[in-house]
Amino acid sequence: MTQPVNQAEIHQAILEQQKADDRKRLMANGVLLLLLLVAPFLMYPVFLMKILCFALFAVAFNLLFGFTGLLSFGHAAFLAAGGYTTGYLLSNMPGLTTEVGILAGTLVATLLGLAFALISIRRQGIYFAMVTLALAQLVFFFFVQSEFTGGEDGMHGIPRGELFGLISLDNNLNMYYFVLTVFIACYFLVQRVVGSPFGQVLKAIKQNEPRAVSLGYKVDRYKVLAFVISAALAGLAGSMKSVVFQLASLNDAHWHMSGEVILMTLVGGMGTLLGPVVGATFVVNVEYQLSQGPLRDWVDPILGGVFVLTVLAFRSGIVGEIQKFMKKNLG
C-alpha cells in the first residue's frame, strides 16, 4: 500500500531548498562584489569599466532573450542611441551634469525600444529577429548621415564632467565606482524583475506562449514591457560607455555589435543571471588579448569559432554548465 503524500512536508522541503539557493546566491553576489571593489587597485580601471558596460549590455539583452525567448538582432541601436545622445548633450551643453546626460541618453533609448517593440512584437522567431535587424539598420544609416554624430569619424572628446556637480569623473577611480554602482543597481533590478510574478510570466511565455495565452495573460503587453526595459538598460550601458571612453562611434550601432552581445550571452549562459556578466568578461578579455598579439587579424574568426563550439557542445554556457555540474555532483 502506498503511503499518502504529505503536502506539508513537500512544501517545507521546497521552502528549505529555496532558502539554500538564496544563501548560495547571496554568497556568490557577496564574493563578486568584493572582487569588484578591489579590482581597480589590481587592474587598469578603464578596462574594468569597459567590461562593466558590456556586462550591463549583455544583462539587458539576456532579459529579453534568455528569460522571454525573444531574439533581437537590433540591440546595438539602443546602445548607440544612448551613447550618442549623452555624448551630444554633454559636449554641447557645458552646464549639464553627467548624470542628467546619462539619464537623457537612457530615455531616448527607452523610447526607441518602445517604437521597436510596437512594430516587431507581433512577429515570432526568425521573423521577429529580422524585423529588429532591419529597424536597427535604419537607425545605423541615420547615425551615418547625421551631422551631430560626426558620421564615420564619430563623436570625440566627450567631457566626463562632474557627478551631481560635486565629484569629478575625470578621476578614473571616481568614474569606476560610479559605473560599478550603476551596474550593481541594474543587476539587482534585473534579478528582482526575473524573480517577480512579472518575471515568472516572461518565463512562461518563453516555455509555452500558447499556454500563457490560454491562461488569460496578455502576452504582447508583457513582451513589450520586457523589450522596453531591456532597451533602457542597453541605452544606459551605451551612455556610460560614451562617458568612460569620451567617445561615441558607429561601431556601437553596427549589426556586428548586436551579434557580439548574443555571443556574450550564449558563452556566459543564456537564462542565468550571472551568465551575461561572465560572458562579457570572457569576450572582452579574449578580444583584448588577441588584439595585442600576432592573431589581431583573426579576432572575428576566433570568436566565431567560440560561438559555434558553444552552440554545439556547451549550450548552457559557462555558468549553466557549472550549475549543472554542481547540481549533479553536489546535490
Q: Which amino acid is at 125?
A: G
What backbone torsions phi and psi does residue 271 show, to the nearest 5 degrees? 80, 10
Stretch among 233-242, 267-276, 319-328 having the lowest mean pLDDT = 319-328
Secondary structure element (H or E) that encloses residue 324, with its range: helix 317-329
Query: What confidence score (pLDDT) does residue 1 get?
Result: 46
User: Could you tell me whether strands 167-168 and 155-156 are parallel, antiparallel, or unpaired per DSSP bridges?
Assistant: unpaired
pLDDT tens track for 164-199: 878 888 899 999 999 999 999 999 999 999 989 999
Q: Is residue 99 part of a domain?
A: yes
Whether residue 7 is predicted with pLDDT greater than 70 in this model: the reply is no
Contact present, 238 and 109 (Cβ < 8 Å): yes
Q: Please give the Cα distance from 125 to 266 (Å, whole number).
A: 17
Query: What confidence score (pLDDT) does residue 6 get?
Result: 60
Q: Closest Cα to residue 186, out of 320, 65, 23, 63? A: 63
Q: Please give the Cα distance from 253 to 249 (Å, whole number).
A: 8
Whether residue 328 is predicted with pLDDT greater than 80 in this model: the reply is no
**Quick one: average pLDDT of 109-138?**
93
Q: Closest Cα to residue 106, out of 87, 81, 89, 88? A: 81
CA dihedral (108, 185, 268, 303) in degrees, to 10, reads: 40
Stretch among 13-17, 39-43, 316-320 having the lowest mean pLDDT = 13-17
Q: Is residue 286 part of a domain?
A: no
Q: Is residue 307 part of a domain?
A: no
Q: Is residue 125 part of a domain?
A: yes
What backbone torsions phi and psi does residue 156 show, to the nearest 5 degrees? -110, 165
**Quick one: average pLDDT of 35-57?**
90
pLDDT tens track for 86-111: 999 999 988 888 999 999 999 999 99
Q: Which residues pair with 168 in a beta bridge?
A: 162
- CA 257 vs. chain centroid, Å, equals 12
Q: Is residue 25 part of a domain?
A: no
Structurally, the chain folds into a number of domains equal to: 1
Sign of the torsion formed by the C-alpha atoms of 220, 226, 227 and 232:
positive
Q: Is residue 81 part of a domain?
A: yes
Q: Is residue 327 part of a domain?
A: no
Contact present, 86 and 242 (Cβ < 8 Å): yes
Scanning 39-171, the segments in alpha helix (DSSP H) are 45-65, 76-92, 98-120, 125-145
Q: Closest Cα to residue 225, out of 67, 92, 47, 76? A: 67
Report residue 36's pLDDT band, with 50, 70 and 90 as the boundaries: confident
Query: Domain limits at 193?
Result: 43-254
pLDDT tens track for 47-78: 999 999 999 999 999 999 999 999 999 999 99
Q: Please give the Cα distance from 177 to 303 (Å, whole number).
A: 30
Q: How many CA atoms lie within 13 A of 164 on its CB side?
A: 4
3-state helix, strand, coil in the chain (%, to 5): 75, 0, 20
Whole-number average pLDDT of the chain: 87
Q: Is residue 27 part of a domain?
A: no
